[in-house]
């Protein structure tokens, strides 16, 4: 095999991966490689499953619609990283939410939690579509894992981690900047802002740390990315 693997397509597979084995691709994955990417026999493909590291295999067509990756070789081991970055967010318009999900994956979020607040304008989400967006983003940015998507639930029913940083506008809170240790959580409010009742709860509950996101009023997706980008991850 060549040693320049960076141009090989990259796929997430929900199946165990190990050195020297073969793995069968489903119709959608085979279609993507054979018809969209125009790959053929003996072309290389990188694969990962979020558990076993990253591997590279050789395409062997089984038919016009199906192919197998043979003779897997490991490129990267799965890192032993147990740290967590939790993003709690309120659903927004689908195009903007897709952008937010994609960038949250790129910026290292490990858990995504959609919540419903008093002023939520879009109370439903397409879980299957978001899962696909998560996988596509992980494939593109070369992550070896994929964030976990939690079921949507009401803000008042959500159990938040002990220290959850909450973006509050015009509340004289300190500018957000946090050191990421084993677990960090951030919470972004709705497009219409927090209700007075929710603000009182946020300021009173011990698990919340109100923070400012600067002088400008940010869109919900921008606020999420601002906070994720200001987390200092130890190296």
- In tens, the pLDDT along 33-80 reads 999 999 999 999 999 999 999 999 999 998 889 999 998 999 999 988
- 10-76 fold: Ribosomal Protein L25; Chain P (2.40.240)
State the burial class of residue 36 (Cβ atoms within 10 Å of its Cβ: 0-12, 13-18, 19+).
Answer: exposed
Could you give the angle at the alpha carbon of 137 between the alpha carbons of 78 and 164, nearest 5°? Answer: 80
Alpha-carbon 53 to chain mean position: 17
Q: Where do the H-state alpha helices sit in 24-106?
A: 27-31, 94-106
Residue-wise burial string across 56-93, b where 16 or more C-beta atoms lie within 10 A, e elsewhere: bbbbebeeeeebebeebeeeeebeeeeebbbbbbbbbe
Question: Taking all residues of the chain, what is their mean pLDDT, rounded to a whole number?
Answer: 91
Confidence class for position 168, pLDDT limits 50, 70, 90:
confident
pTM: predicted TM-score of the whole model, two decimal places: 0.90
Question: Of 226, 225, 228, which Cα lies nearest the Cα of 99?
Answer: 225
Domain boundaries, the chain: 10-76, 84-232
H/E run at residue 188: none
Distance, in Å, from the CA atom of 59 to the CA atom of 68, rounded to the nearest integer, reads 6
SS3 59: strand
Mean pLDDT of the 2-13 span: 83
CATH of domain 84-232: 3.40.1280.10
User: What is the predicted pLDDT for the residue at 235?
Assistant: 56
Question: Which ranges constitute the DSSP H helices of the chain?
Answer: 27-31, 94-106, 127-141, 196-204, 220-229
Q: Tell me which residue has tokens 């002088």.
A: 215
> Residues 45, 57: contact at Cβ < 8 Å?
yes
| pLDDT 10s digits, 111-150 | 999 999 999 988 889 999 999 999 999 999 999 999 999 9
Check if 10-76 and 84-232 are the same fold. Answer: no
CA–CA gap between residue 72 and residue 75 (Å, rounded):
9
Q: Give the per-residue pLDDT at 3.
A: 60
Per-residue model confidence (pLDDT) at position 83: 85
Among 178, 194, 172, which residue's Cα sits nearest to residue 228?
Answer: 178
């Amino acid at each position: 095999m060549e040693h320049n693997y960076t141009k090989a397509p990259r796929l997430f597979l929900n199946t165990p991966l190990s050195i020297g084995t073969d793995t069968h691709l489903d119709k959608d994955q085979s279609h993507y490689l054979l018809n969209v990417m125009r790959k053929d026999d003996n072309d290389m493909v990188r694969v990962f499953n979020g558990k076993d590291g990253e591997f590279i295999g050789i395409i062997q067509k089984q038919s016009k619609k199906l192919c197998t990756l043979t003779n897997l070789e490991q490129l990267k081991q799965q890192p032993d990283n147990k740290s967590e970055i939790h993003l709690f967010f309120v659903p927004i318009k689908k195009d903007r939410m897709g952008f937010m999900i994609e960038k949250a994956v790129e910026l290292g979020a490990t858990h995504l939690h959609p919540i419903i607040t008093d002023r939520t304008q879009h109370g439903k989400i397409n879980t299957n579509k978001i899962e696909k967006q998560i996988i596509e983003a992980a494939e593109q940015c070369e992550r070896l894992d994929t964030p976990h998507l939690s079921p949507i639930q009401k803000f008042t029913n959500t159990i938040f981690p002990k220290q959850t940083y909450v973006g509050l506008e015009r509340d004289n809170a300190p500018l957000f900047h946090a050191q990421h240790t084993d677990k960090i959580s951030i919470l972004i409010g709705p497009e219409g802002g927090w209700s007075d009742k929710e603000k009182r709860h946020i300021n009173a509950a011990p698990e919340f740390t109100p923070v400012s996101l600067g002088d400008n009023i940010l869109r919900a997706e921008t606020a999420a990315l601002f906070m994720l980008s200001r987390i200092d991850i130890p190296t």
